[in-house]
Structure 1
């Protein structure tokens, strides 16, 4: 703490650096009234131009006198050579607690010199030299200062943002930063190991065998859940994850980014890949850094030699550490979730069996549902016997359900469907099972096409025509067919004489799939690709009638 206090004092003394012209030294030379000296504390002083109210910002006059007097640095600065200062702004100093400022003023010893030296690099570094991931040896016991230059243009040193760069002097450069920087000596894990607020995290990291990783070289960002964050999780869920090495490692890796991300570098929301493989949405809301849209970060930019720690007060649980029932929480399938629980299938969805849940969206359910045996059977037919992703599905594939049925997969240009329901959202892959959200309640087929037609009074004329034409056997085959089925209303749009003539010809017309004719009952032509379609071109009909038939005759059923 003493070291930190004196460090803050050292930088406080630099804080009075003014923010003036872009290149002060060049301005000095241009006006010739002031000539910069090769060395010394006043080479870039604040000078009035005679006869005007203009001043030229240079570097360190009053502040230099103070810190050189107190830390005995005057001789060193007056000597030959060049240095780079990372100097906190006035606002940065005013943000320091009063007790630290008081301690800085009252203490004069070697620690002040050390603190000031840590903010100096003994060579000239322009902003172009500050490359992402680079480190430079400071003038304090060879401790490094760490530079990060982000894609959005923000540059940080030890996570302090550079707010004005390249303030030139004859004996060096000043870069103004927005906070006091401190020396870094411990790695990320050492930081965790000494903070009682991270005790549960420390235990979890040890159980997952991840301690060594956070002690090794790297550039990590750890969103560190506090003890309070772990306590918010239901005990059963937390104990399950802590007792499962795979789920625990996924959970912890979900809190770690593969690169160092200082809070000052975040100006807008952006997805960032975690070590678990999925992404976190890291953004900001006013003065607060956010994760997945939530302002749950309570402390930022706790630096280690191999990364940075941000404290969070909520535990982040990735899908890969969740059960099926947990995957359904907080999503658009809450009605389906409640139905599985009400039908007694909750324990199955909370277990470790490899399954795939086809979860209908909430708006797929109409009216109230009766929780009886048939409903449980329906829910079982939304559960597949193995864990799948939508990427593994292919056209014509058959999927076995826990209810004993086989569901067919249909792959179209813009849709992936299972029976009558299509995939409506991205997959969620859980610890043992996965969830595919679908847009409808599944109604698996229980009969042939002929059975479906017979059960619907709207198709009585079509059913009779198929029977008369000898196509009943075809409609009962266990093959993949598509039928464009004219309803009774569609038939009744045909003039009665023409309809009677067609129905009579249906007994003598061709029945083979390869038949080439248009003068027969408008039923289904059978192609070798198992696609069935209606030929609504009636013999003797005028063009207008045929057009009306083409637009009005057909109704698709599935």
Structure 2
């Protein structure tokens, strides 16, 4: 019996084919076409690799202009595709929450595992739908979106976007910029319009907080938007309570309705899963205030 199992194992291995053949067998035709266009097919045969392989539908979700740009710019296309390839073999069993592995592009890919969402596994927020398709020179995991390499850490990305000038100014004022450069963080980032909704009087109180050094208002209002681990939308569930970095660790209440995610019932996530080198950003349309400050800051 042992000898038979050994023979069958060897036959299965022999039939698995190399990485390019496995991608073809899985009918990932768009990916295979782009790999060939970027001149990377031979590279995938020159070693042992783990490929995070987007489906055809994943590429269709890209904006048409983005796909057209990649199709006409082989260097940019190659950089994106290399971001989906990791040297060596990383099986599902080796994945752990917040594990980061270096891709061929030089950027790191972050794993997250969500036990309360049927053990969903994401790479840079993209859900892995099929694991451990073995090839003679590596393994393929199928993913449902195309991963885009992050362009910087959380602070850098907020600072480079004019929609967050108010938030960035408050982060600088409170001296939290260094803290937001730590690893494994999630920021629910209110845009400028969100601060405008808070009202001029409340914003003025934040700016002139007499107890700022003790963190009475500004520090804790900002930290109430920060989670001390990486949470992508695939890891959120209805009625979840997420602990924040607020001094009292006051939690946020998650509500999911008709495909939209709300925090504390009133703050809606308008853009989700913006990957940063040190975590994730979700854009929200209202500033959230801890309950203990609400009457004084917003009403009073």
Same-fold call, TM > 0.5? yes
Structure whose residues are more often helix by fraction: 2
- Moved runs in structure 1, 4+ residues, more than 3 A? 26-30, 34-37, 43-46, 62-65, 322-326
Tell me, yes or no, if the aligned pair for 2:237 and 2:254 is still in contact at 8 Å: no
Residue 57 (structure 2) pairs with residue 91 (structure 1): yes
Deviation at 1:219, TM superposition (A): 1.2
2:180 maps to 214
State the 1:73 CA deviation: 1.9
1:313 Cα deviation after fit:
0.9
CA contact (8 A) 1:248 1:321 kept: no
Tell me whether 1:257 sits opposite 2:221 in the alignment: no
Contact 2:58-2:145 at 8 Å conserved across structures: yes
Q: 1:268 to 1:168 in 2, by over 3 A?
A: farther
Give the 3 Å change call, closer, same or farther, for CA 76–300 of structure 1 in structure 2.
Answer: same
Which residue in the other structure is 1:507 paired with?
Answer: none
Indicate the SS of the match to 1:236.
helix
For the Cα contact (< 8 Å) 2:185–2:279, is it kept in 1?
yes
The corresponding residue for 1:309 is 281
Query: How many pairs align?
Result: 284
> Deviation at 1:238?
2.3
Alignment partner of 1:196 out of 129, 149, 162: 162
Q: 5+ unaligned residues in a row in structure 1: which ranges?
A: 1-25, 47-56, 330-349, 351-558
Among 227, 238, 251, the alignment partner of 1:279 is 251
Shift of 1:106: 2.7
Equivalent in the alignment of 1:228: 193
TM-score normalised over the length of structure 1: 0.47
Distance 2:234 2:265 in 1: 17
Instruction: Tell me whether 1:119 sits opposite 2:89 in the alignment.
Output: no
- Kindly tell me: are residues 42 and 214 of structure 1, through their superposed partners in 2, closer, same or farther at Cα, counting changes over 3 Å? same
Residue 4 of structure 2: aligned partner: none
Between the aligned partners of 1:100 and 1:220, the Cα distance in structure 2 is 28
Partner of 2:240 in structure 1? 270
Distance 1:68 1:273, change over 3 A: closer
CA contact (8 A) 2:225 2:244 kept: yes
Q: Distance in 2 between matches of 1:324 and 1:111?
A: 51
Q: Which residue of 2 aligns with 1:75?
A: 42
- Counterparts in 2 of 1:405-424, with a 5 A limit? none
What is the rounded CA distance, in whole Å, between the counterparts of 2:31 and 2:150 in structure 1?
25
Structure 2 distance, partners of 1:111, 1:325, is 47
User: Within the alignment, does 1:297 sit opposite 2:297 as a pair?
Assistant: no
Matches within 5 A, 1:406-485: none
> Which residue is equivalent to 1:333?
none
* Cα displacement string for residues 448-489 of structure 1 (whole angstroms, at most 9, x for unaligned residues): xxxxxxxxxxxxxxxxxxxxxxxxxxxxxxxxxxxxxxxxxx
CA RMSD of aligned residues (A): 2.6
Distance in 2, Cα, partners of 1:44 & 1:242: 55
Q: Secondary structure at the match of 1:222?
A: strand
Whole-angstrom CA distance in 2 between matches of 1:28 and 1:63 = 31
- Give 3-state SS (helix, strand or coil) of 2:20's partner: coil
For 1:82 and 1:317, locate their aligned partners in 2 and report how far apart those are by CA, in whole Å: 50
Structure 2 counterpart of 1:143 = 107
Distance (Å, rounded) in 2 between the aligned partners of 1:193 and 1:325: 26
Q: 1: CA distance between counterparts of 2:189 and 2:31?
A: 40
**Mapping for residues 103-182 of structure 1, pairs under 5 Å:** 103-108=69-74, 110-140=75-105, 142-152=106-116, 153-182=119-148
Q: Distance in 2 between matches of 1:314 and 1:137?
A: 36
Corresponding residue number in structure 1 for 2:21: 42
1:323 to partner: Cα distance: 4.1
List gaps (5 residues or longer) in structure 2: 1-7
CA contact (8 A) 2:224 2:250 kept: yes
Superposed CA offset, 1:255-282 (max 9, x none): 1111111112113321111111211012
Residue 42 of structure 1: SS of its match in structure 2? helix
Q: Which has the higher contact order (CA 8 A, sep 6+)?
A: 2
DSSP-derived class of the 1:205 partner: helix
**Distance change (3 Å), C-alpha of 1:286 and 1:205:** same
Q: Cα offset for 1:68?
A: 4.3
Alignment of 1:15-30 (within 5 A): 29=11
Aligned in 2, Cα 1:139/1:44: closer, same or farther, shift over 3 Å?
closer
Contact 1:250-1:320 at 8 Å conserved across structures: no
Asked whether the equivalents of residues 241 and 321 of structure 1 are also in contact (C-alpha less than 8 Å), the reply is no
How far residue 102 of structure 1 moved from its aligned partner, in angstroms, is 2.1
Instruction: Describe the shift of the 1:283–1:88 C-alpha distance in structure 2 as closer, same or farther (beyond 3 A).
Output: farther
Alignment CA distance shift 1:99-1:45 (3 Å): closer
